[in-house]
Structure 1
Amino acid sequence: MQSWFSDAKLGIFIHYGIYAVDGIAESWSFYNGQVTYDEYMKQLDGFTASQYDPEAWADLFVRAGARYSVLTTKHHDGVALWDTQANDLSVVKKTPAARDLLTPWTEAIRSRGLKVGYYFSQLDWSHPDYATVRPARHREDADDQLNAYGYARRGKEDPARWEKFLRFHRAQLKELCTQFGKIDLLWFDGDWERDPEQFRMKELRDELHDMQPDVVLNSRMLGYGDYATPEQGQPVVAPNGPWEFCVTINDNWGYFKGDHNHKSVRQIVRICAECFGMGGNVLLDIGPHADGSLQPEQVDRLEGLGRWMHKHGEAIYGSRAGLPGGLFYGPSTLSADGKSLYLFFFDQPVDELVVRGVRGKVLWASIVGTGESLGHYRRGSADWNEVPGNLYIDFKDRQIDPDCTVIKLEFESPVETVLAAGRT
């Protein structure tokens, strides 16, 4: 696992594909029968990418405060954004766009100093050899319990055809890993319809590291990934190890016609602060229009988030999880050396902020972004008591940030937290 990942904190996810033509759900719309497969694939004829400007996208992501980005190279519908030679189903060969969209995006992201991430669906609901086997756990299920796009019909499994699919699957991944330079992150999806043995996941992991030795792999590899990827439901408790919360700005991953339910900048900032405070990353998703232009509401949210991220960067990038729950009523982070504690809060305090259970001498308290110093004092402990006194920070009559204010407490030595009942 590369250290850059946990230090980066914010990534921008991009769901871009033919589903934006009609503004319907990516892949799932035909899988779940909302449209027919043929109706879904008619969108190939309307995918122009005529306003596609990955340079402008990359500049926006930098302004948003992101340190990496992930693009859907191929979703579950099987439509590739690059000129794959493994089959003909790509925007290069089948759409008016008629060009490789992955190379210019990769170059733009890399040139801004951002880490490059490729989303890739392990499954492929368009490939004729994909739905030819079942995992062991579903071997005896009735046909009407399993979708025909994903599973062979009962008693009709064809392992030889599955081997053909695996060769195709590996061929596309080899293209991604050998034709576009260094890849920092492979963001897999769609692993749930097979067993790890069927996908030969351990072997795949080794192959990927042979081609891209420093690549980070997300968790959707049936136990062979590097970090957890909770989706849409914000964790209340941090997952074990490195993790990243992937979340949409509105209610859908790709552009979805009529979805104007965009989170506010303040809501997005709160999600970020809470995830950063638990040591996680946020992968925030946007869904471009079919022509490649971005939704104005989503541009607005990224610009607003960027204002806050850049102002408070020292409390975010390279930080680690802050205080345990109950010691401060808001998120918090710690600097890498543990000597700076950052407190995040969202509303105007009536008088003082209180931190409990923290030992150590405070050298300085200030507001991040302005440097304005704050008064502070301890009260409520004794030499013989194992529980440190409460630390009070005076914030009376100070100006808060409209989205989230951050205070920095600089300690003489690394912060030590105490979770104890005290003498009884």
Structure 2
Amino acid sequence: MPMQPWFTDAKLGIFLHYGIYAVDGVAESWSFYTGEVTHERYMKQLDGFTASLYDPRAWADLFARAGARYAVLTARHHDGVALWDTAHHNLDVARDTPAGRDLIGGFADALRARDLKVGLYYSHSDWNHPDYPSLRPVQPGDVPPSRFSHAEPGAEDPAAWERYLAYRDGQVGELVDRFRPDLLWFDGEWERTEEQWRMRELADLIVAGNPDTVLNARMLSHGDYATPEQGVPLRAPDGPWELCLTVNGSWGHRPDDRDFKSVGQLVRYFTETIGLGGNLLLAVGPREDGTIPSEQTERLEGLGAWIARHAEAVYGTVAGLPAGHHYGPSTLSADRRTLYLVCFDAPREAVSVRGLRNAVRRVTVLGTGGELGHRVTGGLHAVPGVTWIDAPAAEDLDAHATVLAVELDGELDLYRGSGRG
């Protein structure tokens, strides 16, 4: 099935890890798996999860101001606590917490009211389901197994595993039928093989309910796009992709984590990602009451303000120049006739572009319209010279990243050779 065009055009999504782990501000699910806190203390958080100030319309308004085109909410993390009133009940916020209601329907409605696409995160694994630790992986994964995830050697229970898969498929089917997500963001796939997960059957179930659903690569061979985490790749993954990045160092709400990335750093991550043809999925962690901390809100709004000033270089573009042609990220208009060069630092004399066979018609500073002189030096036979663009005036510089729009005399034509021998 071809990739949905909205995804590759979106550029920015917001990732929300929202669940009972926000009550005490501990790591989502992993804190009891690794023993950071006891399982008893972790589950006690059920009693404190209220969602008392949860306002998905305010979320959607914030995401729109940030320039995002989609958002992904953790419908169920590895701890097994579903954010909706599931008929396939193990744990959910409607029955088992003071929140007492479904939290996904309002999220989906609020996003669609702002013309944002709806993404839902769902973990294949459930470390609180009694039938989950009934099987062992055929091949060991990267994460050490625990009593929450794997049966003891010789204690496998195939019947229990079948019940677990029925539970998982039932919940995923509910998400598709009730909330019609545009994207399903799976996780936890490392604990079993594709065959043990029955990925083909799960993919068939999803596509039967909504053939346009986008699936991430944690559906293994049935995924539509790659999901690197926390570090910009040096080489773009094959096909569509998305970088998952936290605003501080944590996925969920951890008030002791004050290591917030600056707006300038987020602009760098964002432009480096879209310059390689990917999307940025930027993660924030709401408090248990549903409010997003001001430090995260301010950074989303700061990134959104930069995007709004430079929207022409963001939306409707594709990956720009390969490394070595320009010292910074770049994007390219869909008609391949305008290059957008990102400059993080103020150019001292000129900005250079190497290997450009095209003549340049005009160069302007995006956001201010200031026009810049340009010229070519050198070049021999098939090897083009260097295109030099005059440095922008101080009043044309952006506080985080200045973007130069380079209008070409035709579709981008690059020289990639090693020079005349």
> Normalization by structure 2: what TM-score?
0.97
Q: What amino acid is aligned across from residue 358 of structure 1 in structure 2?
A: L
**4+ residue runs over 2 A deviation:** 396-399
Alignment of 1:165-180 (within 5 A): 165-180=164-179
Offset of residue 138 of structure 1: 4.0
Say if 2:372 and 2:392, in contact at 8 Å, map to a contact too. Answer: no
- What's the CA shift for 1:135? 1.6
Distance 1:229 1:145 in 2: 22
C-alpha separation in 1, matches of 2:173 and 2:58: 29
1:77 corresponds to which residue?
79
Q: 8 Å contact 1:73–1:80 — kept in the other structure?
A: yes
1:320-349 CA-to-partner distances (Å, cap 9, x unmatched) read: 111111110000111111001000011111
Is 1:274 matched with 2:272? yes
Counterpart for residue 300 of structure 2: 302
Displacement of 1:221 in angstroms is: 1.4
2:390 is aligned, of 389, 394, 403, to 394
Mapped partners of 2:336, 2:246: distance in 1: 32
Aligned Cα RMSD in Å? 1.3
Distance 2:392 2:192 in 1: 58
Tell me the equivalent position of 1:331. Answer: 329
Aligned to 2:343: 345
In structure 1, give the amino acid aligned to 2:163.
Answer: K
Looking at structure 2, the residues matched to 268 and 396 of structure 1 have their Cα atoms a distance apart, in angstroms, of: 23
> Hey, what's the Cα distance between the residues in 2 that align with 1:138 and 1:233?
25
Matches of 2:9 and 2:155 in 1, distance apart?
A: 48
User: Deviations 1:146-184 (Å, cap 9, x if unpaired)?
Assistant: 31111110001011110000000000001100012x321
Paired residues for 1:1-400 under 5 Å: 1-138=3-140, 146-180=145-179, 182-382=180-380, 385-398=381-394, 399-400=396-397
Letter aligned with residue 175 of structure 2: L
The one-letter amino acid of 2:405's match is K
| Corresponding position: 1:423 with 2:420 | yes
- 1:380 to 1:212, Cα distance in 2 relative to 1, 3 A: same
How far is the alpha carbon of 1:145 from its aligned partner? 5.7
Amino acid of the structure 2 residue aligned with 1:232: Q
Amino acid at match of 1:6: T
Q: Is the 8 A contact 1:347 1:400 kept in 2?
A: no
- 1:41-70 CA distance string (max 9 Å, x none): 100100011111110110000000000000
Contact 2:228 2:242 (C-alpha < 8 Å) held by counterparts = yes
The answer as to 2:421 corresponding to 1:412 is no
Percentage of identical aligned residues: 55
- Measured against aligned partners, the alpha-carbon deviations of 1:60-92 in whole angstroms (never above 9, x if no partner) come to 000000000000000000000000010141110
Name stretches of at least 5 consecutive residues in structure 1 with no aligned partner.
none
Matched-pair contact (CA < 8 Å) for 2:365–2:392: no
Verify the 8 A CA contact 1:195 1:222 in the aligned structure 2: no
Separation of aligned partners in 2, 1:88 and 1:6: 36
Deviation at 1:205, TM superposition (A): 1.1
CA drift at 1:5: 0.7
The gaps in structure 2 that reach 5 residues or longer are none
With over 3 angstroms needed to count, the CA separation of the structure-2 counterparts of 1:405 and 1:145, relative to structure 1, is closer
Matched residues in 2 for 1:327 and 1:404: separation?
18
1:65 and 1:167 map into 2 onto residues whose CA distance is 38
SS in 2 for 1:222: helix
State the shift of 1:422 in Å. 2.0
Task: Provide the secondary structure at the position in 2 that maps to 1:341.
Answer: strand
* Contact residue 232 and residue 245 of structure 1 kept, 8 A: yes
Aligned AA (1:391): T
